[in-house]
Amino acid sequence: MATPHVSSFCFVILLCSVAAEAIDGGFTVELIHRDSPKSPFYDPSETPHQRVGKAVRRSIARLAGFRSNTLGDPYAHITSNGGDYLIKIAIGTPPVQIVGVADTGSDLIWTQCKPCQSCFRQDAPLFDPSKSRTYAVVSYHSPKCKVYDETSSSPQGQCLYTARYGDQSYSNGNIATDAISLDSTSGSSIKFSETVFGCGHDNGGTFNAHSSGIVGLGGGDASLISQMGRSYGGMFSYCLVPFFSSSSSKLSFGLHAHVSGQGTVSTPLIQKSPKTFFYLTLEGISINGKKFTMAGSSRHGAGNIIIDSGTTVTSLPPDFYEQIEPAVASAIHLPRVQDPTGSLNLCYRSFGMFTSAPSITVHFTDADVKLNYYNAFVHIADDVVCFTFVPSSCEKVVYGNLAQMNFLIGYDVARRMVSFKPADCSYH
């Protein structure tokens, strides 16, 4: 069975037929952090700092997934346990709700299906395609089979897929189409007919019983974003609430995703391989007004950083990080300590509110994004606060979700722009 490969970045819309009733030209759904009380992953016995530590370790494992695969390797460059946000969708007619890991670092939508040769344990019943009036198996020769980069044919001529992840988790099954529905925050349900997805019959790895698959939100043709693009103009946005907020984050599509107004800055979305990822150009970072410029290596050109909602920390090329860390350290006058999780480089002894953070501005092309202290520093323990930027030992560097909290971030794929606007995400 063939495995996915990576190819040039473009946002191709669509090979499947999408029929959706627009609500004022757009709609918004909940995006639930995996550690919030609304999440099925939530463990009330854990302290807030234990949850932070786990999120950071998942993030480091995710970056290791990037590192372990080169552009020629037949793997999706994610780890299945690294997606930090969950999205509820429904598949079929009548609709069956599933909880999927929302991942901007992968494309395929898939869920576990009956009959199952080998499946990981999940709390909810498996999706039964025989009970859906709108389910259809895709032929290997159908254009819909080619939505996912490489597939193979079954003896009966059906389109088969394999999804493999950086931590060696996997999903194998049929490429199929069915109706996919999302519940909007307005109370209405938005339905997309004949959406391409993976019906997984052989799945395993590090998946949790509370979820039943992955909802790919990347730039590839098979992702939910791509398959909704024509109906909603290729526009989506999200606003990530701070880590310990009791509110849900929001994921919006169409006109509801437009980001504008005072404080909005925009930067080009770069066309680059692989098309799953959303590439921006990081030109430099300022610490207390002193700007450090990215220069001197092949990794410092256009499209040199991936913006990713599923990675917690921000990684930088080692030679650039070596400029940033001393500048941050010189501005903080607290005792240096080791990160108790062993994940982060620059940590300090600090109790309560961290008031020693320097002013940090991230400079993308045409867009200066001034961070709040919690975008760059996190309490990893009651008395330990750490800088959330790390050196990357892999080819790719990533702008993580801690740096994105309390910013309304809009993707206009048709115009190839990403916009940032400071916001209180509890109200967006």
Task: Catalogue the active-site residues.
Answer: 103, 308
CA distance 161 to 266: 37
φ, ψ at 164 (rounded to 5°): -125, 145
DSSP code per residue over 109-160: -EEEBSS-SB----SSPPB-GGG-TT-EEPBTTSGGGGGSS--EE-TTSBEE
Tokens 């999903």 belong to 171
Q: Does residue 351 contact residue 331 with C-beta atoms inside 8 Å?
A: no
CA distances from 115 to 95, 119, 132, 174, 175 (A): 18, 10, 14, 11, 15
Q: At 327, phi and psi to the nearest 5?
A: -65, -40
- Please report how many Cα atoms fall inside a 13 Å half-sphere around the Cα of residue 412, on the Cβ side: 15
**Do 400 and 312 form a contact (C-beta atoms < 8 A)?**
yes
Distance CA 327, CA 290 (A): 9
Measured distance CA(201)–CA(160) in Å, rounded: 10
**Eight-class DSSP state of 298:** G
Structure tokens at 202: 């052989």
In whole angstroms, how far apart are CA 169 and each of 78, 123, 214, 389? 10, 19, 12, 27
